[in-house]
Structure 1
Amino acid sequence: MVTTTAAPDASAASAAPAVTPAQENPEKGTVHGALPLALSAVLVGAGNYGLALFLVHRLSAPDFTVYAAVSSVLLSVGTLAGATVPWVLAREVAAGTPGSARRRSSVRTCLWLALGLAFLTAVASCGAVASYAGPGPLAGLAAACLMLWLNSVGAGYLQGRERFAGLAALRVAEVAVRIAATVGAVAAGWGSAGAIGAFAAGAGVTAAAGLVALRGERTAGGQAGAEPGDRASEASEASEASGVPGGRTEWWRRAAAVGGIQVLTCVLFTLDVVVAVAVRGGSADLAPYQALLVLARVPLFLSAALATVVFPRLAAGPSPAAGERFRTALRLHWITGIAVTVTIATCPGALTGLVLPRHYTASGALLLPLALAGFAGATIALASVVFQAWGPVWRVVVTLGLACLAGGAAYALTAARPPALAWCSAAVTCAAAVVIVGLARRRVPGLGPAAGAAGPLAAGAVACCVLSALRPYPVLWALGVLVVLGAAGSAARTRPRRPGPYRVLHLGFEDPRRPGAGGGSVRTHEVNRRLAARGVDVTVLVAPWPGATETVRDGVRYVPLPAHPGPLARSRFAAQIAYFAAVVTRLGRLTHRYDPDVVVEDFAAPFSSVCVPHLTRRPVVGLVQWLFAADKAREFHLPFGAVERRGLASHTTLLAVSDGLGAELGRRNPAARVEVIPNGVDRAAFTRPAVERGDHVLYLGRLETTSKGLDLLLRAYALAAPHTTAALHIAGDGPHAEAARALAAGLGIADRVRWLGRVDGPARFDLLASARLACVPSRQETFGMVAAEALATGTPVLAFDIPCLRDLVTDDVGVRVPPGDLDAYAAALAALTRDPARCAALGAKGPPTVAHLDWDRIAAAQLAAYHRVTPGDRLPHEAPVADG
């Protein structure tokens, strides 16, 4: 179906500020960051569990008792270390500039802080176990305390730099080294002392790796230059990090805020067990409670990974992008955390018996309250990062402090009854979670009345009822869990309605700044800059060229693809092939990065289209200014036509720039919706001040012979030169510039030809308006933008009688001669230049014939075409397009 779009009138409007294009897809970035951390938590937990089973069988009972007691102390030290120094340093690294005084000072301060805390915790830990641990275990304990704290500094630096894969690798490496060292020590007969020393070995290796990663920040020079994500200015960083009054005070205030919330959160998570053990003196009745607690806190691993990922972006300061990242993390937490919690809460005893000792499964009734407590704790861990990054902290500190006080008293009263203790823990943590999420709603715009939890919680309640009914039937329960987890995965992958601007990813192929760029790139920029002026976020991917860099022009971001092509950029054809190869192999990652609502593919040489609709799930619009494959196949003797046919068939929406091209597209792909939206002419072309016309003729455009026919013009002008006094002015640049100069010299007309170079902006319209005649000798054209601009300035056009130009250059405004007929072209050129009155009469009729080719109308029509392929909840706001 082919339709010619009647572009709506565009009323004048003041242009809105251009929106900076999005750097990435927040949802995908959050998932990619959290996934390795969550997997590392699973691997670390499995490794620790397996190591404990190994030592149970290899150590004597007294030796294992010493190991278990010391490892419990080290677990507390590790938890404290991981909850304080890394988050403090991550905040400073995320907010500072690489190599700045602020970051260097923060690294040094955290190193000294870690050493001081290592000394204190080593003394306290050794004192706690000195009554039953010998010199060997005590030495291993002290060394492990030191290494755990040093390890926390490197972890905080990697978190602040958002190197989450590296952080996950360090965590897994620590456990792997510890397991290997433990097995070797036990095999050597070193008993519990060797097993405890293995803690120090594992933490020592990863501490060394972390210190190597931040070595540049400890030097005076640091790193030069800024990296993406740095927000603070160098001057303010230096003042904070130096001895300026208030600088150190502010640093410690931020550190205390982050560390205080983390420590209180950890205390709240472990308080039920600590109080119960203290009250009951290590009663065996608490063993099932503690064992089931490990399963119930799986959601905490997931939320800890999300919090670790989102914190550096929040630490850089409040911003819409940071708020969107937090909303995305919270949404993923609701969906995945609730699904996992429901699964744990309803797990049949037959399945828990596969993981835990058989006599523990009798306490399966504890799973529901413990799972609720674990999910509430996970919510607190994630929601509180907003206050650690942005403040104010006192409300969260007060909430957590009151929860700890109330919980401590309640746990002491219910310690003798594990079911009551579990429900009490659920009540305390759920209440604290509700309050902190409520506080976060006030701090982060766009969270909504229930902070996005209403839907997932309702679905979770229904799933819990269904799975509880299926508990007596483990096979049916397992099938139900698969359905629940599958639905959660689908919901997590579904893009919610994203706040913020409507986004367009335009595969524009040709950068308008590149020498020899043609009318296609002009159309791309003229339309996109008008969309950007009304708040649409536009990113254009272009083929590389020497000197190409990522830049923002008139609110439109241009990104070379590939970004570092090397010597390929020097060859136009090689750059084209590299561009298409990058589109085919990387479009999935690019759409995740820029998160567009619609992808626009400009058909470009040599393939035309590379089947973009098959490469992405986003809506795709094909913009066709020319079908290139047949010509390029003849030129390079390669089967580009097969790719073009497949590409055309892949599209369901195509935009053509002329009626003839639209008809051809409809013939080749009858199933596609084809709209005709012509190119436009800048308003400045119609409003040039009156200038005296010269007696010269003008060629304006790309210096190229294959399609633009510059060689035909030079040969025709050589035939006409003896019969006219008009000089030939040639403006533009392109791949055949030197060949054209050589041809002019060979034809003996070098002294009659003036080469003006590239002319852009309003100057091109002045140039057209000053010429007696505009020569358009094209063998082929997609639209004929130069002809339209010449007519807008009142200059007649001499052209070959080819499609596209036939509709523009009518007998009223110019002259057409048979395609390729040089004698006819030369005769018409000579006749027109000798008859200025006729030229003036033809030119006067030109502007009305192209007055409808208004870029504002064209941009509005093209945006309307995007409307028709975009889901309704992501349509851009209706507003007039203003000429930028």
Structure 2
Amino acid sequence: MPGVVAIRRNAGWLTISALIGGGLNFLYALGLTWLLPVRDYAAFAGTQALLVVCGTAAAASAPWMLSQRLARNPPPAARRDAISFAVFLTLAQGLLAALLVGALAAAIGHGSLLLAAVAASAAFSIFAATTSAGYLQGRQRFARLAVLLAGEVGVKVVSGVLLVLAGAGVAGVVAGIALGAVAVTLAAAPPMLRDLEAGVRWLRDRGLWRLLLGLSGVQVGVVVLCNLDLVLGSLLARDSAGFAGYQVAVVLSRVPFYLASSLSVAVFTGLVSRKSRTSAAMGPMVGILIASTIVVGVSVATLPLPVARVFLPHSYPSTVESLVPYTAPAGALAALTNLGTTFFQAEGRFSAACMALAVGILALSVGGVAGLSLLGVRGLAYAALGAQLLTAILLLGLAVRYWGLAVLPRPWPLAASVAALPLFVLRPLPAVWAAYSCVLCLAVGWQTLFRRHDAGDDQALPQGGRSPRVYLLTVGPISPPWNGADTNLGRALVNAEIGVSFTFLGQLGDTTRLAPEHRRIELSFATGIPTPREQLRILGRIAVEHGDYELVHMIATFGRSRLREELLWALPLIRNHPLVVTCPNGDYLPQGLLGRAREVVTVSAHTEQRLRGLGLERVRRIAPGVDLKTFRPQPAAEAQRRLGLEPRPYLLFAGHHDPGGGLDAALRLTGELRADFPGLGLLTAMRSRPGREHARERERARALAADLGLEAGSVFDLGPFADIPRALQACRAVLFQPLRVGRKMDLPMVLLEALAFGRPIIVSPVDALPELADGSPAVTVCEPGDRAALEAAGRLLDSEAAFDQGSAAARRLAECRYSATAMADAYSQLYAQVLGREAAASAARELAEAVG
């Protein structure tokens, strides 16, 4: 179950485990107040605080480093080095922690050597257990990890209670903690220890040391930022009672932080194992956290006093109530920081995360001291909230810079805020409030962690035979009426069965049948040619694209705009993924953008030579293709009837009202041919372009037709949205003799479709058009006004045998060169080669990192 959905579900099981463990710990702590004398409970609380610090330190070093290496499935030698490094680091840290905790526990226990020995054993066991858990995390055994973590608390509680009842006192409680950690180690460590290797080769692995320092630096920074306010308060607060209330409020407000910790474990492993990318995972994960935090935060903020008095001493509730409005959002922001730094750790951007954390710590240090001096405990609350907000903003800003707007959460978590509003109304009814709060927390937790919100969530790298995901980026929508070269090439790829899952832009409301593995992103377009406003809408949609793709394939005819080129490259979707660019036209070639692409594809040898002349090496030519099953020879009579035409011979010109675009040559040739074939008609399918020049050219063409004696009944304008397939069937031949191809595809699609329909074509010898010729009657290449065009068209109109011969030759040429199936197969091979190179490069980087 790869991708974001897997991360969510893994986080869900870890959260359930944490809730079970937290509930047991809470009941255990309450039970110990009855089982232990006051003096012994104070010794237990002090020793437990030491062990909590040990757990935090242990989790911030070896486990995450080990899980990162194992999740990437390294070579055996690198795996053994990582495990050996983690084990020996754990031994060193565990022994040091045991000595320190043992000494401090002896002081807390008034010289009790038994408590010191048990506390030292517990400290060492905690380090061993966290590294063992890190091994399971790296091997992605999350269900087993969740069971073990809940089981650890169970063993601790049962053994601790039994030992206390047996008369062991505080030492028995601490021994229970040690036994719980030992249980995790015994269950998880044996497979890990089988890969343990003697020797110190791992000491020379600089990659492991860099990884350890980076991960430890970030996690220590998170711990410091989240606890510095409590440290400052304990040292500087003059109002002890008020600060005690602040501590309780902070504890209640930190519930989202533990959810973020569960999410972080699953997110980190999912990202470093390449099952998902940050650009795809961060938005949904932050959304999950926000949705859950809203419910928990509102529950804490509206906590009724009668409910608070159930588990708080009588002197606390009023103080807690006054501080929760500040500690609750601070706790939510701390959770966001905890989760946010995970993405930076997974991507290896340790310095950026540490910088943001350092700014937050500095702000909290200065603000906390000033706040305590001026406003007391409330000033400390203000400073903590401000520092957490500043840090979260910095992290999100850096995330947008690195991975784009897709990292921002979708608006659906705001629904949780609506569902939480009744808690304010139900506050005077404590029993109803408690029931609704519990149901709401469970419902939101289930919805966010175990239900699927978005079809794009489960988008991951291909594993185990899954088809690669390709974002097919075209200028216009891949939808009817199929007016552009990019959309027609895109249609051929989407319709082909080449084992690729395409995501592409389509017209809103398009009902064209689509294979289930593909995804159409629907936008509204006025025509097949996007207006400037629609182009901005396309850029905006791409900018927030959150899907996880292996490849981006751009099919575009480029204009002379350096700004647009830089804007395209700035899009995270393009910048952060391997890019393949198909250039249907060689009129303008943006060398900077094409130079960054993994592969550049042309449709003609003409443009291929130009690109190689610019110094580009990874260039290949793939001939464009048409669907030979759809475009096949048909009698002209039926098509003429459906177009409302009289049954007579026609020629076809399809293009634009561009200067030198070929319409003039078609009109003149038709005028000359009508001397011998007075019933001849010319069909024109003229696509619109915005601007006055287009209108002027249209009027000039009408004047030229009148000058040539082509009355209204001889030239038939089929309009900008002409049914091109029927127009091709209705004609005898297609004329296209421009002075330059301009921004049309080097080998215009209408000419390829004409060949597939068995209609010969007459073209001019400009740009790539001569490449169409194969020496058969299918293609005539000559200058506009040349006698050869008149003779070729005359033969096709005069002789059925000549037309049949030309038609058969045209069909053979299309089958030989311009099959959509052959084109799709060529792109399938290209995708495989590019992805293969990417995989090899990634493996090489990981190997280099593994060996230092």
Quickly name the TM-score band, shorter chain normalised.
Answer: 0.5 to 0.7
Q: Structure 1 residues 242, 445: CA separation in 2 closer, same or farther (over 3 Å shift)?
A: farther
Deviation at 1:194, TM superposition (A): 1.6
Helix, strand or coil at the partner of 1:384: helix
Q: Does the 8 Å contact 2:306/2:430 carry over to 1? A: yes
Q: 1:424 aligns with which of 359, 380, 383?
A: 383
Matches within 5 A, 1:241-252: 248-252=205-209
Which residue matches 1:77?
54
Q: Does the 8 Å contact 2:270/2:276 carry over to 1? A: no
Q: Is 1:148 the equivalent of 2:126?
A: yes
Helix, strand or coil at the partner of 1:130: helix
CA distance, structure 2, for counterparts of residue 466 and residue 29 of structure 1: 32
Which residue matches 1:135?
113
Q: Is 1:471 the equivalent of 2:427?
A: yes
Which residue matches 2:8?
31
Deviation at 1:350, TM superposition (A): 2.7
Amino acid aligned to 1:361 = P
Q: Does the 8 Å contact 2:337/2:391 carry over to 1? A: yes
Amino acid aligned to 2:93 = L
Q: Structure 1 residues 490, 193: CA separation in 2 closer, same or farther (over 3 Å shift)?
A: closer
Q: Is 1:496 the equivalent of 2:457?
A: no
Q: Structure 1 residues 188, 479: CA separation in 2 closer, same or farther (over 3 Å shift)?
A: closer
Amino acid aligned to 1:498 = G
Q: Does the 8 Å contact 1:537/1:556 carry over to 2? A: no
Q: Is 1:93 the equivalent of 2:70?
A: yes
Deviation at 1:469, TM superposition (A): 5.4
Q: 1:289 aligns with which of 240, 243, 246?
A: 246
Helix, strand or coil at the partner of 2:236: helix
Which residue matches 1:387?
344
Deviation at 1:266, TM superposition (A): 0.9
Deviation at 1:252, TM superposition (A): 0.6
Deviation at 1:381, TM superposition (A): 0.9
Q: Structure 1 residues 213, 685: CA separation in 2 closer, same or farther (over 3 Å shift)?
A: farther
Which residue matches 2:313?
357
Which residue matches 1:348?
304
Which residue matches 1:114?
90
Which residue matches 1:369?
326
Higher relative contact order (CA 8 A, sep 6+): 1
| CA deviations over 1:624-660 (Å, ceiling 9, x no partner) | xxxxxxxxxxxxxxxxxxxxxxxxxxxxxxxxxxxxx
Amino acid aligned to 2:128 = L
Which residue matches 1:334?
290
Q: Structure 1 residues 536, 189: CA separation in 2 closer, same or farther (over 3 Å shift)?
A: farther
Q: Does the 8 Å contact 1:123/1:142 carry over to 2? A: yes
Which residue matches 1:396?
353
Q: Does the 8 Å contact 1:503/1:537 carry over to 2? A: no
CA distance, structure 1, for counterparts of residue 144 and residue 239 of structure 2: 39
CA distance, structure 1, for counterparts of residue 7 and residue 517 of structure 2: 13
CA distance, structure 2, for counterparts of residue 531 and residue 343 of structure 1: 55
CA distance, structure 1, for counterparts of residue 294 and residue 495 of structure 2: 34
Helix, strand or coil at the partner of 1:159: helix
Q: Does the 8 Å contact 2:84/2:202 carry over to 1? A: no
Q: Structure 1 residues 243, 308: CA separation in 2 closer, same or farther (over 3 Å shift)?
A: closer
Q: Does the 8 Å contact 2:102/2:120 carry over to 1? A: yes
Helix, strand or coil at the partner of 2:406: coil
Q: Structure 1 residues 389, 491: CA separation in 2 closer, same or farther (over 3 Å shift)?
A: closer
CA distance, structure 1, for counterparts of residue 277 and residue 332 of structure 2: 26
CA distance, structure 2, for counterparts of residue 258 and residue 105 of structure 1: 18
Q: TM-score, normalised by structure 1?
A: 0.50
Amino acid aligned to 2:402 = R
Q: Does the 8 Å contact 2:85/2:202 carry over to 1? A: no
CA distance, structure 1, for counterparts of residue 629 and residue 239 of structure 2: 83
Q: Is 1:207 the equivalent of 2:163?
A: no
CA distance, structure 1, for counterparts of residue 66 and residue 222 of structure 2: 18
CA distance, structure 2, for counterparts of residue 39 and residue 537 of structure 1: 44
CA distance, structure 1, for counterparts of residue 304 and residue 84 of structure 2: 51
Q: Structure 1 residues 183, 537: CA separation in 2 closer, same or farther (over 3 Å shift)?
A: farther
Q: Does the 8 Å contact 1:95/1:316 carry over to 2? A: yes
Which residue matches 1:43?
20
Matches within 5 A, 1:637-652: none
CA distance, structure 2, for counterparts of residue 173 and residue 379 of structure 1: 28
Deviation at 1:284, TM superposition (A): 4.2
Q: 1:174 aligns with which of 152, 155, 165?
A: 152
CA distance, structure 1, for counterparts of residue 490 and residue 309 of structure 2: 60
Q: Structure 1 residues 452, 355: CA separation in 2 closer, same or farther (over 3 Å shift)?
A: same
Helix, strand or coil at the partner of 2:137: helix
Q: Structure 1 residues 395, 111: CA separation in 2 closer, same or farther (over 3 Å shift)?
A: same
Q: Does the 8 Å contact 1:299/1:337 carry over to 2? A: yes
CA distance, structure 2, for counterparts of residue 502 and residue 87 of structure 1: 22
Helix, strand or coil at the partner of 1:388: helix
CA distance, structure 1, for counterparts of residue 185 and residue 322 of structure 2: 42
Which residue matches 1:811?
none
Matches within 5 A, 1:458-857: 467-468=423-424, 470-474=426-430, 493=451, 495-496=453-454, 498=456, 554-555=498-499
RMSD, matched Cα: 4.6
Q: 1:261 aligns with which of 218, 239, 260?
A: 218
Q: Does the 8 Å contact 1:334/1:456 carry over to 2? A: no
Amino acid aligned to 1:300 = F
Q: Does the 8 Å contact 1:59/1:191 carry over to 2? A: yes
Q: Structure 1 residues 457, 373: CA separation in 2 closer, same or farther (over 3 Å shift)?
A: farther
Deviation at 1:130, TM superposition (A): 3.2
| CA deviations over 1:392-437 (Å, ceiling 9, x no partner) | 2212212212322331343344458333322321111121111111
| CA deviations over 1:503-558 (Å, ceiling 9, x no partner) | 99xxxxxxxxxxxxxxxxxxxxxxxxx999966599xxxxxxxxxxxxxx94369x
Helix, strand or coil at the partner of 1:452: coil
| CA deviations over 1:840-870 (Å, ceiling 9, x no partner) | xxxxx99999x9999969x99xxxxxxxxxx
| CA deviations over 1:732-790 (Å, ceiling 9, x no partner) | xxxxxxxxxxxxxxxxxxxxxxxxxxxxxxxxxxxxxxxxxxxxxxxxxxxxxxxxxxx
Q: Is 1:158 the equivalent of 2:143?
A: no
| CA deviations over 1:811-835 (Å, ceiling 9, x no partner) | xxxxxxxxxxxxxxxxxxxxxxxxx
Q: Is 1:324 the equivalent of 2:280?
A: yes
Which residue matches 2:834?
none
Amino acid aligned to 1:407 = L
CA distance, structure 2, for counterparts of residue 532 and residue 156 of structure 1: 45
Q: Does the 8 Å contact 1:501/1:537 carry over to 2? A: no
CA distance, structure 1, for counterparts of residue 346 and residue 42 of structure 2: 41
Q: Is 1:438 the equivalent of 2:400?
A: no
Q: Does the 8 Å contact 1:178/1:202 carry over to 2? A: yes
Deviation at 1:278, TM superposition (A): 2.5
* Structure 2 unmatched ranges of 5 or more: 463-487, 502-515, 521-626, 634-756, 758-806, 825-852
State the number of aligned residues.
Answer: 504
Helix, strand or coil at the partner of 1:359: coil
Helix, strand or coil at the partner of 1:217: coil
Q: Structure 1 residues 125, 280: CA separation in 2 closer, same or farther (over 3 Å shift)?
A: farther
CA distance, structure 2, for counterparts of residue 39 and residue 470 of structure 1: 27
Helix, strand or coil at the partner of 2:108: coil
| CA deviations over 1:16-56 (Å, ceiling 9, x no partner) | xxxxxxx73x3421221011110111111111111212221
Q: Structure 1 residues 91, 501: CA separation in 2 closer, same or farther (over 3 Å shift)?
A: closer
Q: Structure 1 residues 120, 462: CA separation in 2 closer, same or farther (over 3 Å shift)?
A: same
Q: Structure 1 residues 349, 457: CA separation in 2 closer, same or farther (over 3 Å shift)?
A: farther
